[in-house]
Structure 1
Amino acid sequence: MNKETSEIKSAKHSPWKDVGISDPRARLKSLSDYASMVELDRNIPPQRYYRSGVEMIRMADMCMKDNDLEYAYILYVKFITIFVEKIRNHPQFNTVPLKDKEYNQQTLRKVLPKAEELKKQLLEQYQAEYNKYVEDIKEREKIEKERLKQEELKKLREEEERKNKLAALAAVKAAKAAMTASVTSPEDGKVKKTSSVSSRPLVSPSSDIIAQTSREKPTVDRSTKPSLLCDSLTLRDVVLPTKLMHNFLMLAFTNTTNNKETCGILAGKLERNKLVVTHLLIPEQTGSPDSCVTHNEEDIFDYQDQHNLITLGWIHTHPTQTAFLSSVDLHTHCAYQLMMAEAIAIVCAPKYDETGFFILTPEYGLDFIANCRETGFHPHPTEPPLYTKAKHCKLDVTAVIEVVDLRRK
């Protein structure tokens, strides 16, 4: 499947989150700087960027409905950066159809005020979070001061008790010495035993210290301490209908028996911060034993536009091999994952009854493949691994999948 490489080279993680709960304006600037980090590849036709822009806005609008303001703002700013600052410098900019440019300009007129309003909302949100964080710090400092005070009182009490014990021990020793001493009376010559021990208590503990230390030591709930660093590699779940793979293999059966690969596009929606695959789109294609080339991709784009769907990955068969990602597969998937970090690649190997759910390793493989300029089948290093199992994939036996076959019969 000879898809284009990355349209937009985005960072492999989210460094703006490392700012944590800091000054609201600095936090917003970090977010804006990250969103503006867009580089255009002059080897990729500008029409690809215009197509990616359509999906970026669709995804941003979904994020707004899901109240994910940060991610929506990032997508809006990326869109503005590409189509206001960058795209005109593309050497093939004049080849873009006029209708695409006009539609893009109409979208820009809507996006610019949306981004500005989002900026205000995020600043208010950051300010509220910062104020709460400062209040939490003050509360923790207050609790810590009280804890130190109680510890000091405890030390004073222990020191007082130690002195009391020493005084009592000395008194006991003195009493024993007096009881064994003999005194002879000159009147009767009898021996009398006298005691120097007073019936009065020797030492009285301080009632003030006892009263002060009788209070319970306050407890500190460590779980309320805010985390300043977020896990920047956290991926949202991709929910897949369990029957998707079975339906796809049934559709690909003829090609599989003829030793030809079959491929499809996974499309769906964002629902409650989860990416749900709802459609399997089968484009016009030509298959061989180890590759699959798509044609008339405009049919896919039109269908997605009509049904408000976003691309969540792709699926293809290995008729005679096991489930893995070849060098061509890695480059194909790179374009998907750079556009959406959660995008997955599914490989079905019916001969070996295997199904693999894969993703490029965010910490290494994604950048390596994005910067690889080789084409066709070519060797890649195996260590560190370039791809891994997509652990954020979740199968749902109750979910429904709609299969749309766009191949011309």
Structure 2
Amino acid sequence: MLEPSDRVNELYENASKSVEQTFEISAPIIRYFRTMETMNKYQKLFVDQRRFVEAYVLQIKIGVLFLKHVKQHPEFLTFKASNSSIVSNGRNQAKEALNLAEVTKSKLLDIFAKEKVAFDETQKRLAAEAEMERAKQEMWVLENERRALEQESSTIDTEGFIPKETSTPVDAADHNLPPPPYQAEQGHPQVPDRSTKPRSSSTSTASSSVNSIVPGLKIIAPSANARSIHQKVTVPALLGPEFLKYAFVNSSQNIETIGMLFAKSLQGRFQITTCLLPKQKGTHDSCTTTNEEQIWEFQSQHPELIMLGWIHTHPDYQAFLSSVDMHNQYLYQSLLPEALALVVSPNYKEIGAFRLTETGLTVIGNCKEKGFHPHNKNPPLFEAAPNVEYLNSPIEMVDLRS
């Protein structure tokens, strides 16, 4: 395990690199300020939840985004002249975020120091246990050889020598040794493998997702070995069917439909409550929003809501993430680890809640390709999110397309 200071430095470098990968100088400058507002909202949420690693990363991103990207943007001076209040607010957010980052850094150093001590103690304990196991194995090998020799000597009868009855093999108990737990056919005693010891397992969120009923749709289930370190996300069971109703006209014309997902943070989990359909333009295999200001305005009017990802249809295909979808998901997930990409297939009657894997975040973050392009599928770049539960909770549909 790295030293605490090295772990913090690694977080800083990764956060700076992520900003470089995510933002392009050609993007409209207003998008940077809107993104800073969103990140600022998330980092405050993470601090409240004591998720200091995620908070620190976003605090660094806010500062780097303003200092290295916004101020160097070709539109900066022109934008500043006509939007001084937005620029001033962005500067204040960056300053505040970097100040908070120093506070968060000190907390992380304390946390990482304790983890390092615990890690070192665990390594010592495991090393000691391994040495004991090795010594035990050697002991039983020697004991088995001793028994074999005594057994052999007790059966020798040469030159008229007859062994006494007392020369029978000595029992292990006479030497204060416990009998071996298992005797192999070859005479080599074996100690039961620790890996065969049953492990207690917590209830998988995948099972609840698979067993829950989404009317008319099959749920794409996470793999059996999928594990999540993220907070649970509850998805209304009617979200998929309701979204298909709003997308019916587009789907009948083989056109994709997109929506934004908003959630509330409730009792240590995120609960999706609202689906926003902004103005958009779609084709048979893609869909983009055409008025992002609608989304930002809606979010500013509902500060209690957190943008938790997006949902879209695949009129022609099954539910999965295309290369374009993965690049879009990267933008959401790099800000909020719990961000989801919900995909609904009307023809195949499927719904899936997907997220990028750790490998996917690295590969997509470093990918500069545009449009549809191939990616290696092994190891997988995306997966069905194992932290999702489908529940009978209400969903509000807000359609701004007309």
TM-score strictly above 0.5? yes
Residue of structure 2 in register with 1:312 after alignment: 308
Cα 1:24–1:219 shift into 2, 3 Å: farther
The 8 Å contact of residues 261 and 288 in structure 1, kept in 2 or not, is answered as yes
Q: By how many angstroms is 1:300 displaced? A: 2.1
Q: By how many angstroms is 1:243 displaced? A: 0.9
Q: By how many angstroms is 1:240 displaced? A: 2.3
Which stretches in structure 2 are left out of the alignment for 5+ residues? 182-189, 199-224
Q: By how many angstroms is 1:92 displaced? A: 1.2
The 8 Å contact of residues 264 and 271 in structure 2, kept in 1 or not, is answered as yes
The 8 Å contact of residues 314 and 343 in structure 2, kept in 1 or not, is answered as yes
Letter in 2 for 1:78: K
Residue of structure 2 in register with 1:377 after alignment: none
The 8 Å contact of residues 235 and 392 in structure 1, kept in 2 or not, is answered as no
The 8 Å contact of residues 154 and 163 in structure 2, kept in 1 or not, is answered as no
Cα 1:335–1:30 shift into 2, 3 Å: closer
Query: 2:381, 2:341 → 1: CA distance?
Result: 10
Picking from 273, 277, 282, the partner of 2:277 is 282
Picking from 235, 238, 251, the partner of 1:243 is 238
Q: By how many angstroms is 1:388 displaced? A: 8.2
1:26 aligns with 2:6: yes
The 8 Å contact of residues 334 and 370 in structure 1, kept in 2 or not, is answered as no
Cα 1:22–1:296 shift into 2, 3 Å: closer
Picking from 253, 262, 266, the partner of 1:267 is 262
Picking from 56, 64, 69, the partner of 2:39 is 56
Compare relative contact order (CA 8 Å, sep 6+) and give the higher one, 1 or 2.
1
Q: By how many angstroms is 1:406 displaced? A: 3.7
SS in 2 for 1:36: helix
SS in 1 for 2:176: helix
Residue of structure 2 in register with 1:367 after alignment: 364
1:396 aligns with 2:376: no
Letter in 1 for 2:47: M
1:105 aligns with 2:96: no
Q: By how many angstroms is 1:279 displaced? A: 1.0
Query: 2:54, 2:100 → 1: CA distance?
Result: 13
Query: 1:118, 1:59 → 2: CA distance?
Result: 14
TM-score normalised over the length of structure 1: 0.68
Query: 2:237, 2:107 → 1: CA distance?
Result: 39
Residue of structure 1 in register with 2:59 after alignment: 76
Q: By how many angstroms is 1:34 displaced? A: 0.8
Query: 1:117, 1:407 → 2: CA distance?
Result: 43
TM-score normalised over the length of structure 2: 0.69
The 8 Å contact of residues 263 and 306 in structure 2, kept in 1 or not, is answered as yes
The 8 Å contact of residues 285 and 293 in structure 1, kept in 2 or not, is answered as yes
RMSD across aligned positions (CA) = 4.5
120-129 or 232-241, larger mean C-alpha shift:
232-241
Query: 1:353, 1:76 → 2: CA distance?
Result: 42
Letter in 1 for 2:309: G
Query: 2:370, 2:327 → 1: CA distance?
Result: 10
Query: 2:256, 2:166 → 1: CA distance?
Result: 99
Query: 2:9, 2:367 → 1: CA distance?
Result: 27
Q: Percent identity?
A: 25
Query: 1:354, 1:317 → 2: CA distance?
Result: 11
Query: 2:142, 2:251 → 1: CA distance?
Result: 84
SS in 2 for 1:265: strand
Cα 1:215–1:33 shift into 2, 3 Å: same
Query: 2:155, 2:322 → 1: CA distance?
Result: 85
Superposed CA deviations along residues 11-52 of structure 1, whole A, max 9, x for unmatched, are xxxxxxxxxx33222222212211121224111012111111
Q: By how many angstroms is 1:53 displaced? A: 1.1
Query: 1:369, 1:23 → 2: CA distance?
Result: 27
Residue of structure 2 in register with 1:44 after alignment: 27
Query: 2:400, 2:287 → 1: CA distance?
Result: 15
Q: By how many angstroms is 1:101 displaced? A: 1.5
Q: By how many angstroms is 1:125 displaced? A: 1.4
Residue of structure 1 in register with 2:217 after alignment: none
Q: By how many angstroms is 1:337 displaced? A: 5.3
The 8 Å contact of residues 342 and 354 in structure 2, kept in 1 or not, is answered as no
Which stretches in structure 1 are left out of the alignment for 5+ residues? 1-20, 178-195, 225-230, 375-379
Query: 1:139, 1:269 → 2: CA distance?
Result: 43
Query: 1:134, 1:389 → 2: CA distance?
Result: 33
The 8 Å contact of residues 262 and 274 in structure 2, kept in 1 or not, is answered as yes
1:118 aligns with 2:98: no
Letter in 1 for 2:295: I
Equivalenced residue count is: 354
Cα 1:82–1:140 shift into 2, 3 Å: same
The 8 Å contact of residues 63 and 270 in structure 1, kept in 2 or not, is answered as no
